[in-house]
Amino acid sequence: MQKVPPSGLGPLGKREERLAWGMLLPTILSVSLIIILPLCAIFWISFKPISLADLRPPTVLVKEQLKGQINAAGDAAKIRYRIRNSSQSKPLTDVTISDIIPESFDIQSTDERCSVDETNAIYCIIGVLEGGQREVIEAEVLINDSFFGSEKQYKITQPSTSSVGDNILTNSELTFENFQKIFDSEEFITVILTTLFYTVFGTVGAVVVGLFAALLLNINFRGKGLVRGLYLFPYVAPVIAVAFSWINLFDPFSGSINSLLLQMDVLDSPINFFGQRPNALIMVTIFEIWRYFPLSFLFILARMQSIDIEMYEAADMDGASPLQKFWYISLPMLIGIMSILFLLRFIWTFNKFDDIFLLTGGASGTRTLTVNVYEQAFAVSNIGAGAAVAVVIFIFLLIFSLLFFKFFSQEEGL
Amino acid sequence: MTYKKTIFFTAFIVGILWAITVSIVVSVILSFITGSPLKPNILIVISIGSIAGILILHSLRSNLILSLLIISSILLSTLTYGPITTGDDISHLLNYASQSLFAASTVLPLTKILSGLSFKESGRHEIEEAFIRFSSGFGLIFFTMIVLIPFYVMLMTSLKTQQELLLNPLDFSIDLSKGLILFRSYSELFQDFGFGRYLWTSFYVSTATVLVTLGFSIPGAYAVARLRFRGSSAFSRSILLIYMVPMIVLALPIYILFSLTGLRNTILGLVLIYPVTTIPVALYMLQGYFRGLPYEIEEAGLMDGLSRLAVIWKITLPLALPALASVSLYVFMIAWNEFLLAFMLLDDPITFTLTRGVASLNSSEVPRQHLMAGAVISTVPILLIFLFLERFMTKGLTAGSVKG
């Protein structure tokens, strides 16, 4: 008989595996709860005709009142329940209301929809309550002696209600309306083109400008560390601060840039940088480049400093000029990191929302897909349409990620 | 000599380009500081630049050229043909100072830029180097200006009043004699707009985010880096995929969920969400660092009878302290700067974070200097942290900037 080496995991290996999953569990749980679940929700919502107002599901509102002159024991009075559907449009079904009437009242008669049991509890079946419909239920009571002895309370218990509302989030009503709406609008093509312009130029710009900054900081000079720190400011500062500062700087009436350009006779009249097509789109793209060139320069500089000096020495021996050295040695070495940067930044610029939202709010031809999600969901209050745009974004991203992983597995890891 | 013409041409062109750069920079800087209307007189600037370039090429001593140019610039300016055109109402001192500043910053760097260039022994290398030195100088000035100007304007605007801003948008001069009144926007923000509370909220939300993130990502990163288990590579890939989900796509269902559960307008809601957006980054950064640590020390610990968790606590974590610092700083920065979720989930000023508070200043009723003061308040802490801990921060940025 031939001896076979044990296959699979031994007991030690199994323990290690259990430990590993145990250590990953918190991360997996939290990430799936807050990222995977919402993603599935987005797909679900995108097929729902749902607006912002639907987030408050309809409920039954009840007001309890005591009517009648009460002076002595034996007086007649009425306990009145005013019932209302909180929604103006959505019906509620199987509406019931129950309440316990204090012992100080003797119930004489009630509405025919109600029944009273021996513990003085009243239970009414109302049935369907249309949107905005009101109902009144009265119970005629006689006051007995204990009413005056105790504190004059009739609302000892809050009436409780039950109802079955049709929750739009959970029912099975599905529709393609949202997708139809966003694909049909003429604006959608413009939105896609805007997104592509912003993403492509923003990304290429940030990488190229970052390359120049890295070339600068690859030279040795005094105060280099300081300059390097300074050039990271745009990325480190909160986006809200720099965005408002740009708006302030480029204001058409009281902005410094406009008055500077006017004073230097470059312009005849002030330019509305953020409020006009196509200026606004160009400006938000420039902002994107300004804010993210630090990242690319950091990466490219790190790569540059790891290039072997001997290569340059060899090139010097062969009489290569500085530009030749850059073109034939540095650039080929940097292509790898630059393409990774390009892919990463491409995806991230595509996903960018804050910058444009703060600078223009998506006006003047700067509405990208991400801003469109917000516009549809909150400005037009059509959450379903917003989710549909989000699904479109997600499909784009899926394609990008496939490309990304194809490259990522080939290139050196970051 | 085939290169003679090219060398002459190089000095000529570089001189002109440098002079133009300097003239624009000097005018912009002096305009921004003094508020006076300065502008370069391009024709004069071009001629001065070309003359300077050629003189330097003929290896005259730079002191001589410098004094020559300063004197001629000032003389020209008395004839209203100075390289920097100033208004009539400007003081003579400022006028002469700007002309001299222009001349000095044209000549001195230009001598350096053209230092390798001479008629005798120059070739293609020296010409290219001269151009590269020019581009480096230009690039340094250009980048420094585009980075600094928005921050400078932010700071100076916050110290101004509405009337001063409307009167001359370029005037960022500060009248120091006004003393503490300069900071009235800040005191109003802290007294009337509750910025003290926003600052505190931002601080503890960010700190809590850092702590929760570390608590979740350290074990996860260790497991990915050190333990063998089926699906580990699939796991690290899907962690990377999480980066690519845009926040706005998640914000919508989170908004719905929080509206339904009453978590909107609560700090708890933010502290629940923020770490989840940072855990994948932190995990990715940490596992890279853990992989770089020598496994032998940990094995020795295991051999000596420590449990796996004790090994992590007593050996791995102390070794990984620098990485933990980088990750913490990076996560702190993300949480501090976070805007979108705070904007969507918080409506009640009691729960505002700093970024949300600054966003609430963006209305026509609030004067602009308040908005800028708010921007300064939100920027200063993170920039200070950055400046003091730049080494860690830069490392965190490079490792984690898969996320933007």
Q: Do B150 and A397 touch (CB under 8 A)?
A: no
Degrees, nearest 5: CA angle B181-B186-B188: 85
Query: For a pLDDT cut of 90, what percent of chain B falls above it?
Result: 13
What is the count of structural domains for chain A? 2
Q: Can you give the pLDDT at residue B403?
A: 43
Q: Are residues A143 and A229 in the same domain?
A: no
Tokens 């940088």 correspond to what residue? A273
Q: Are residues B196 and B249 in the same domain?
A: yes
Any A CB within 8 A of B375 CB: yes
How far is the alpha carbon of A22 from chain B, nearest alpha carbon, in Å? 9
Q: Do B371 and A244 touch (CB under 8 A)?
A: yes
Q: Can you give the pLDDT at residue A155?
A: 59
Q: Can you give the residue range of the structural domain that contains B231?
A: 187-400
Reply yes or no on whether the pLDDT at B47 is more than 90: no
Q: Is residue A14 one of the residues assigned to a domain? A: no
Q: Are residues B106 and B24 in the same domain?
A: yes
Quick check: helix, strand or coil at residue B192? Answer: helix
- B253 in Cβ contact with A373 (< 8 Å): no
Q: What's the whole-number average pLDDT of chain B?
A: 83
Q: Are residues A391 and A283 in the same domain?
A: yes
- Taking the C-alpha atoms of residue B296 and residue B302, their distance in angstroms, rounded to an integer, is 10
Q: Can you give the pLDDT at residue A413?
A: 44
How far is the alpha carbon of B157 from chain A, nearest alpha carbon, in Å? 9
How far is the alpha carbon of A289 from chain B, nearest alpha carbon, in Å? 11
Q: Can you give the pLDDT at residue A414?
A: 41
Q: Can you give the pLDDT at residue B218?
A: 92
Which comes out higher in pLDDT, residue A170 or B23?
B23
Q: Which residue of A has its CA nearest to B137?
A: A216
Q: Can you give the pLDDT at residue A207?
A: 94
Q: Can you give the pLDDT at residue B61?
A: 67
Q: Are residues A150 and A294 in the same domain?
A: no
Q: Do B256 and A169 touch (CB under 8 A)?
A: yes
Q: Can you give the pLDDT at residue B48?
A: 83
Reply yes or no on whether the pLDDT at B392 is more than 50: yes
Nearest CA to A105 out of A72, A78, A143, A73 is that of A143
Query: For a pLDDT cut of 70, what percent of chain B falls above it?
Result: 93
- Chain A contacts of B144, Cβ < 8 Å? 227, 230
Which of A165, A186, A219 represents a domain boundary (last residue)? A165
Q: Are residues A317 and A244 in the same domain?
A: yes
Q: Do B229 and A401 touch (CB under 8 A)?
A: no
- A344 in Cβ contact with B402 (< 8 Å): yes
Tokens 């549809």 correspond to what residue? A376
How far is the alpha carbon of B383 from chain A, nearest alpha carbon, in Å? 7
Low-confidence winner among A229-233, A305-309, B76-80, B276-280 (lowest mean pLDDT): B76-80
Query: What ipTM describes this predicted complex?
Result: 0.89
Tell me which residue in B140, B275, B398 faces A302 most closely, judged by beta carbons. B398
Reply yes or no on whether the pLDDT at B213 is more than 90: yes
Q: Can you give the pLDDT at residue B404?
A: 41
Tell me which residue in B227, B248, B397 faces A374 most closely, judged by beta carbons. B248
- A287 in Cβ contact with A239 (< 8 Å): no
- Chain B contacts of A263, Cβ < 8 Å? 31, 37-39, 170
Q: Can you give the pLDDT at residue A26?
A: 86
Q: Can you give the pLDDT at residue A136?
A: 82
Q: Do A238 and B379 touch (CB under 8 A)?
A: yes
Tell me which residue in B340, B378, B404 faces A295 most closely, judged by beta carbons. B404
Any A CB within 8 A of B331 CB: no
- Taking the C-alpha atoms of residue B183 and residue B171, their distance in angstroms, rounded to an integer, is 17
* Mean pLDDT of the region B120-138: 82
Q: Can you give the pLDDT at residue A59?
A: 77
Q: Are residues A371 and A277 in the same domain?
A: yes
The backbone torsions φ and ψ at residue A64, rounded to the nearest 5 degrees and listed phi first, read -110, 135
Kindly report the CATH number assigned to the domain that includes residue B361: 1.10.3720.10
Q: Is residue A135 one of the residues assigned to a domain? A: yes
Low-confidence winner among A195-204, B36-45, B190-199, B219-228 (lowest mean pLDDT): B36-45
Q: Can you give the pLDDT at residue B402?
A: 46
Q: Do B148 and A348 touch (CB under 8 A)?
A: no
Q: Can you give the pLDDT at residue B147?
A: 93
Q: Which residue of A has its CA nearest to B249?
A: A390
Tell me which H or E stretch contains A16. Answer: helix A11-31
Which comes out higher in pLDDT, residue A347 or B163?
A347
Per-residue tokens: B301: 């610990």
Q: Which residue of A has its CA nearest to B357?
A: A240
Q: Do A23 and B219 touch (CB under 8 A)?
A: yes
Enumerate residue ranges in chain A where pLDDT < 50: 411-414
Q: How far is CA B355 from CA A363, B20, B110, B207, B318, in A?
A: 22, 40, 45, 15, 34
Tell me which residue in A19, A238, A245 faces B382 most closely, judged by beta carbons. A238
- Taking the C-alpha atoms of residue A169 and residue A172, their distance in angstroms, rounded to an integer, is 9
Q: Can you give the pLDDT at residue B79?
A: 66
Which of B105, B133, B152 represents a domain boundary (last residue)? B152
- Chain B contacts of A245, Cβ < 8 Å? 150-151, 153-154, 372, 375
Q: Do B227 and A39 touch (CB under 8 A)?
A: no
- Taking the C-alpha atoms of residue B69 and residue B102, their distance in angstroms, rounded to an integer, is 9
Which of A139, A165, A191 represents a domain boundary (last residue)? A165
Q: Can you give the residue range of the structural domain that contains A214?
A: 177-408
Q: Are residues B198 and B249 in the same domain?
A: yes
Which of B125, B152, B179 represents a domain boundary (last residue)? B152
Q: Can you give the pLDDT at residue B203?
A: 93
Mutant choice from A46, A240, A352 vs B, greatest count of B C-beta within 10 A? A240
Nearest CA to A400 out of A335, A346, A337 is that of A346
Q: Are residues A279 and A139 in the same domain?
A: no
Q: Can you give the pLDDT at residue A237?
A: 92
pLDDT in tens, B345-364: 888 888 899 999 999 888 87
Q: At what angle do helices B267-292 and B390-400 cross, to 10 degrees?
A: 90
Which comes out higher in pLDDT, residue A55 or B10?
B10
- Chain A contacts of B374, Cβ < 8 Å? 241
Which ranges constitute the DSSP H helices of B159-231? 162-167, 184-192, 195-226
Nearest CA to B377 out of B161, B173, B185 is that of B185
Q: Do B169 and A387 touch (CB under 8 A)?
A: no
* Mean pLDDT of the region B44-72: 77
Tell me which residue in A38, A240, A321 faces B250 most closely, judged by beta carbons. A38
Kindly report the CATH number assigned to the domain that includes residue A276: 1.10.3720.10
Mutant choice from A14, A29, A30, A34 vs B, greatest count of B C-beta within 10 A? A34
